[in-house]
């Protein structure tokens, strides 16, 4: 363990590393509880559309609202009078030079060593995990290999989306972090090494999110909960924004449907039925499945998904 952790004062001077909404959620909690960082390190502004102006990250917006200095390069922290760096969904690899500048603690959204890596929430949902959690851990050069200072376990809701779960874990992790910052060194004096089977949460690809109707309906429902699920309909991509598995496996056989064929708003899987609740056709807007089916009926095409 980095021996600088036990020597931390109560209410240490911090730098905050993060970019997306869940990191901004933690930053807002820190500010509200009197632990505002002296500086924020976040990704550079990016365009959301081809012609739009560059937009700052959610973390940068929160920092600007509270008059906190924003940096985009960790090397610019050299010379800053800081005790600790707090990392939440930063999205970039922190190099050895940054680790040497100051001790770093990370809020990681899993029960380590399960789901080390970039997409722990999404992988937990796709795998059908019944529970996950959040760890307050030391940042080391290896991928999420540091010792754990505190952790909390939570069940995953049967229809909870990745976005909902990330927000819930961010709130939990923010509370753990503020409790530790309030104490300083004593909160970081007895870490535990990670123990158990290690799994890795690689970033999701389009192949991970394409629905295979020859697979169980429950798996397709999990893909829709992660966000970005899709299939093909009439040669065009159809985004599946919200769906749920229907516990009617016998109905598929009774109706004589092949995987991908539809009965009402449900699609045959193998086994089970997937009820589509909201979809977005290629080039179109999000809509209810009923509305999409009405449009297909007017075009005279029976939907078969694949």
CATH number at residue 264: 3.10.25.10
- Do the domain assignments include residue 34? yes
Locus of tokens 């429950």? 218
- Do the domain assignments include residue 109? yes
Residues 138 and 72 in one domain: yes
Residues 28 and 92 in one domain: yes
pLDDT of residue 291: 94
Dump pLDDT digits (tens) for 244-282: 998 765 555 546 789 999 988 999 998 889 999 999 999
Residues 99 and 215 in one domain: no
Q: Residues 254, 266: contact at Cβ < 8 Å?
A: no
Dump pLDDT digits (tens) for 127-181: 999 999 999 999 999 899 999 999 999 999 999 999 999 999 999 999 999 999 9
| pLDDT tops 80 at residue 299 | no
| pLDDT tops 90 at residue 295 | no
Residues 88 and 123 in one domain: yes
Residues 175 and 216 in one domain: no
As a whole-number percent, the residues of the chain with pLDDT over 70 amount to 95
pLDDT of residue 164: 98
pLDDT of residue 48: 73
Count of the separate structural domains present in the chain: 2
Residues 150 and 33 in one domain: yes
Q: Residue 286 — very low, low, confident or very high, per pLDDT cuts 50/70/90?
A: very high
- Do the domain assignments include residue 7? no
Residues 156 and 295 in one domain: no
Residues 182 and 211 in one domain: no
Residues 144 and 46 in one domain: yes
In this structure, the strands spanning 266-268 and 262-263 are antiparallel
Q: Give the domain range for residue 227.
A: 206-299
Cα separation, 158 vs 147, in Å, equals: 31
Residues 240 and 144 in one domain: no
Q: What is the mean pLDDT of the chain?
A: 93
DSSP per-residue letters across 168-221: HHHHHHHHHHHHHHHH-GGGGSS-B---S---B-PPP-HHHHB--TTS-HHHHH
Q: Residue 60 — very low, low, confident or very high, per pLDDT cuts 50/70/90?
A: very high
- Do the domain assignments include residue 241? yes
pLDDT of residue 53: 82
pLDDT of residue 301: 61
300 or 97, which is more confident?
A: 97
């Amino acid at each position: 363990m980095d021996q600088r952790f036990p020597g931390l004062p109560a209410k240490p001077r911090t730098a905050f590393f993060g970019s997306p909404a869940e990191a901004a959620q933690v930053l807002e909690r820190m500010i509200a509880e009197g632990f505002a960082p002296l500086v924020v390190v976040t990704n550079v502004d990016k365009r959301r559309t081809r012609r739009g102006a560059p937009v700052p990250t959610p973390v940068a917006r929160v920092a600007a609202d509270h008059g906190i200095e924003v940096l985009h390069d960790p090397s610019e922290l050299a010379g800053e009078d800081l005790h600790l760096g707090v990392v939440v969904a930063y999205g970039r690899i922190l190099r050895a030079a940054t680790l040497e500048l100051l001790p770093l603690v990370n809020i990681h959204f899993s029960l380590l060593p399960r789901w080390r890596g970039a997409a722990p929430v999404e992988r937990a949902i796709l795998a059908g995990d019944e529970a996950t959690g959040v760890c307050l851990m030391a940042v080391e050069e290896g991928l999420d290999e540091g010792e754990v200072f505190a952790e909390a376990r939570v069940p995953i809701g049967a229809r909870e989306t990745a976005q909902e779960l990330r927000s819930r874990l961010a709130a939990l992790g923010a509370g753990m972090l503020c409790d530790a910052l309030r104490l300083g060194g004593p909160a970081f004096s007895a870490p535990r090494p990670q123990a158990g089977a290690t799994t890795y949460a690689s970033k999701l690809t389009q192949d991970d999110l394409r629905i295979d109707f020859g697979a169980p309906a429950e798996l397709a429902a999990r893909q829709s909960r992660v966000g970005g699920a899709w299939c093909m309909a009439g040669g065009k991509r159809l985004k599946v924004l919200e769906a749920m598995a229907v516990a009617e496996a016998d109905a598929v056989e009774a109706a004589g449907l092949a995987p991908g064929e539809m009965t009402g708003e449900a699609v045959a899987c193998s086994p089970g039925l997937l009820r589509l609740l909201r979809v977005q056709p290629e080039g179109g807007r999000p809509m209810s499945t009923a509305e999409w089916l009405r449009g297909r009926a007017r075009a005279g095409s029976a939907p078969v998904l694949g």
